[in-house]
Structure 1
Amino acid sequence: MIHLPLVRQGPLRALAVRVALAVTLVLVTVLIIYVDRDGYRDINEDGLTLLDCFYYAVVSLSTTGYGDITPFTPEARLVNILAITPARVLFLIILVGTTLEVLTDQYRNSLRVGRWRRKLKDHVIVCGYGTKGRAAVAALLENGWDKARIIVVESREEGVRQAASNGLVAVEGNATRSAVLNEADVKNCKAVIIATDSDEASVLISLTVRQLTAGQVRIIAAVREQENAALLKQSGAHHVIVSSATAGRLLGLTTTAPPLIDVVEDLLTPGQGMALAMRSAERNEVGRNPRELATLVVALIRRGKVLPLGGEQIVTIETGDMLVYIRADESTGVTV
């Protein structure tokens, strides 16, 4: 089941709209009856007052119909056929508006899903919306990724609600199933981020994605244990992040060199300090040493391989290289 971002409307607002529609309909009906009041007859045969018009409108619209006031001229009966009867039906629709609203919402949601599918292309699928999944989405948004191009696949109802409330499209279901991934249009996505709480589930998801996409979609996965990283790569993951080992190294780094952990946290924390960014090499930078550039370049990516800039070896920039650099977070440069 696909859950599009929530469009919130408060219950008091919805109730106020229905009450306003009902009151407006009653007033319009009273006006119609009052204008043609000479065509109506009551049991007292003394004509209709404004109060009588209100009384007849209310009992007619509510389908009570006591019969003490009746139209007797052809014109008044024609007005009842063409105006009062449709108003009575509309009044009943307002009264049972909850059922009608459910049907309308289903139809509107199907239209929204259709429009969403037509526009969907080169999106990112995030499997799991726990701590890791939310952090991955935050990093994508920080780097300028459009919310409309992020799809969350989550089996927990709480996670689905949270993703939808955060403005994301959520597919409810188990990401290990082909049908669920096809709902997220995995064949046309740009990448799949696997951020589940189980290494076994991560392996199964990776295998399923590889089978559905013939290995054409990039898979980035997180695992808890180092020993499962090799298995996950064999399953089709292009990049594997070992969360427990990474946390352990950061703990050790904090013990031996406390200031360094502050730098790492600054780089990883969105919205403050420094941030890692990547961009294509410009034409005037080709042939130059990355250390000569105004930006602080820490690595080159050439044909999918990372070239570190440390050591005595001199590396020059070539056409097609990607520059990994450190920028200030308030920079307006495009990041990847």
Structure 2
Amino acid sequence: MRAPGRRAILRQSSSLPVWASILWRVVAVLALVGIAIGVHWFDRAGLRDNYDGSVSFIDVIYFTMISITTTGYGDIAPVTERARLFDALIVSPIRVFVVLLFIGTTYQFVFRRSWERWRMALLQEKLSGHIVVAGFGKTGSEAVDELIARGEDARRIVVIDPVQSHLDEAQKIGCIVLQADATRDATLNDVCVAKARALIVATGRDDTSILVTLTARHLAPDLTISVIVKAEDNESPARAAGATTVINPVSFAGLLLAGSCRGPHIADYMLDLASIDGAVALSERPVAPHEVGQPLSAITTGLGLRIYRQGGKIRFDSPEARNLQPGDTIVEVVTR
């Protein structure tokens, strides 16, 4: 389910380099001024120079510029109806276009960039404990939808993607967006990955996802990183790059298919655990102080399945599961 949203910036506005964007504006202004000068020179007989009575080419350039800039000293003036009609119908629109081009350039390269930098800095100050999603294709968007359905505030989710249409979709549901390459240190620093709660990597390419994971682990040694890979051979490189969780959708689909052969309800129950719409859910939490010393089977919050202790996994039927210890992490099945 997609929630309506209204929050987002951190984006790049144009694919053109700065010099090209400025150049086409300069060319447009020169072209408009050139048209006005050419017509004034062709119809110079309709102009009167009150200073020396002669209209030279320099006078035409001078008169055109003061007309476009609305200065108007009155020393040169149109005297024929054709010249005045040209100034009214042609020079006035040219004047408006030139002013708009100058204002647009000033806005884009001065005010807008300063505004976006200021607003970006303001957002960065508030980013802490957020979730970063690198890649907003089918998998990334589904992950964000599921996070929001589970109660995550969309304004606490930052989406990185190089495709503008993907960012538009993320922005509609309220996420903060950044159009950039998530494999770069600068990009992950811009989204404050060191202060994030978790990173979801779903770029659509295993090599890119592994590089994003490696970069993020370098910048945030304690960050929880979940990455999706398509090839089974890339699961180990992803873990070696620093991924906390590696998910292979093909392998997971195979598990569901194999499970369905053992019983018609096994796959259904596994999907029930994974989906927000299910009646039960998997939950992970630290052991509570009053549970220390008790067996895993004695917990009252749910059905204990596994204990994580000092980097190791302990099954529910293991002898070590009979004595919960401080620092243990419990994985359990709970009702919604």
Structure-2 residue corresponding to 1:327: 334
Residues 91-170 of structure 1 correspond to what in structure 2 (within 5 A)? 110-170=117-177
Q: 3-state SS of the aligned residue for 1:279?
A: strand
Q: CA deviation at 1:222?
A: 0.9
Deviation track 1:257-301 (CA, whole Å, cap 9, x = no partner) reads 221011001111113311111223222222111212332122222
Aligned residue number for residue 235 of structure 1:
241
Partners of 1:179 and 1:236 lie apart in 2 by: 19
Over residues 106-157 of structure 1, what are the superposed CA-to-partner deviations in whole Å (9 max), with x where a residue is unaligned? 7765554332111112322111112221233244335544333321111111
2:255 maps to 1:249:
yes
Q: CA deviation at 1:314?
A: 4.8
Aligned pair in 2 of structure 1 residues 273, 108: CA closer, same or farther (>3 Å)? farther
Distance in 1, Cα, partners of 2:327 & 2:242? 26
| In 2, Cα distance between equivalents of 1:142 and 1:151 | 16
CA distance in 1, matches of 2:289, 2:127: 33
Larger mean CA deviation between 234-243 and 160-169 belongs to 234-243
CA separation of 1:194/1:114 partners in 2, compared to 1, >3 Å: closer, same or farther? same
Query: In the alignment, is the contact (CA less than 8 A) between 1:4 and 1:113 conserved in 2?
Result: no
Aligned amino acid, residue 113 of structure 1: M
Retained in 1: the 8 A contact 2:135–2:161?
A: yes
Question: Is residue 179 of structure 2 the alignment partner of residue 172 of structure 1?
Answer: yes
Say yes or no: does 1:264 pair with 2:266.
no
Among residues 321, 324, 331, which one is paired with 1:317 in the alignment?
324
Mapping 1:13-24, distance limit 5 Å: none
In the alignment of these two chains, the number of paired residues is 237
Q: Which amino acid aligns with 1:163?
A: A
Moved over 4 A (4+): 102-111, 311-314
1:220 to 221, 226, 229: 226
Residue 251 of structure 1: CA displacement? 1.6
- Report what 2:91 is aligned to: none
CA contact (8 A) 1:226 1:242 kept: yes
C-alpha spacing 1:146/1:225, structure 2 compared with 1 (3 Å): same
Aligned amino acid, residue 192 of structure 2: D
Number of the residue aligned with 2:299: 293
Distance 1:305 1:151, change over 3 A: farther
Q: Which residue of 2 aligns with 1:69?
A: none
Gaps (5+ residues) in structure 2?
Answer: 10-95
Q: What CA RMSD, in Å, does the superposition of the two structures yield over aligned residues?
A: 3.0
1:3-42 mapped onto 2 (5 Å cutoff): 5=7
Partners of 2:249 and 2:303 lie apart in 1 by 28
Does the CA contact (< 8 Å) of 1:300 and 1:324 recur in 2?
yes
Instruction: Give CA deviations for 1:200-232 in whole Å, capped at 9, x if unaligned.
Output: 11122122223444x343322110011111122
Give TM-score scaled by structure 2 length: 0.62
The offset of 1:242, in angstroms, is: 1.5
TM-score, reference length from structure 1:
0.62
In the alignment, is the contact (CA less than 8 A) between 2:154 and 2:173 conserved in 1?
no
Query: Could you tell me the percent identity over the aligned residues?
Result: 27
What SS class does the counterpart of residue 236 from structure 1 fall into?
coil
Within the candidate set 197, 200, 206, 2:207 is matched to: 200
User: Aligned in 2, Cα 1:280/1:207: closer, same or farther, shift over 3 Å?
Assistant: closer
Q: Is the 8 A contact 2:214 2:241 kept in 1?
A: yes
Aligned counterparts of 2:113 and 2:132: Cα–Cα separation in 1: 25
Summarize deviations over 1:6-33 as a string: whole Å, max 9, x none: 59xxxxxxxxxxxxxxxxxxxxxxxxxx
